[in-house]
Amino acid sequence: MATFLVTLHVLAAAAWLGGAAYERFVVVPDVRRTWSTPGGWALLRLMLRPERLVVGTVALLAATGAAMAIIGHDGFFHLSWVGAKQAVLVLIVVGYLLGVRPGLTRMRRDVERLHRGDAERPTLRPDFERLVTRLDVIHVGIVVNVILAIWKPGA
């Protein structure tokens, strides 16, 4: 059972990290390069779509991580590498709910308006850059958790 949980946890982490890297290093530069073109709007629309997949992946990570903490008698939020990973995940989720999700919702609405032929809202580009910055903070949290999982300080 423990091997299954670890495998599932690692696969979910790889999917999350891989998706984040692809978004940051491929999609975001392409959106910036093609801004104000139909192709740019299509890319932006594509970038804003996989929210359910990401939320599902994070939920799977949280569930498998919690199960492993219970099975391994590691507990929750102790002063250990496991507790640090749990705290970072909570910060990521809170950052997403308070900082990223509202921006995603607003941008999704604006992009749908563009798709219908409406004019670009003047704050769309700054909103996009702010969203990218907030996603970058979350991506740093992902990398920190991967480093903690590999390094396991104090274990």
Given a contact cutoff of 8 angstroms between Cβ atoms, the answer to whether 89 and 145 are in contact is yes
pTM: 0.88
Rounded-to-integer distance, Cα 126 and Cα 32, Å: 11
The two tokens of residue 106 are 């607003």
Per-position pLDDT tens, the chain of length 155: 789 999 999 999 999 999 999 999 999 999 999 998 888 888 998 899 888 899 999 999 999 999 998 998 888 888 888 999 999 999 999 999 999 999 999 999 998 898 888 888 889 999 999 999 999 999 999 999 999 989 888 77
pLDDT at 141 (0 to 100)? 94
Residue type, 81: W
The two tokens of residue 11 are 């696969």
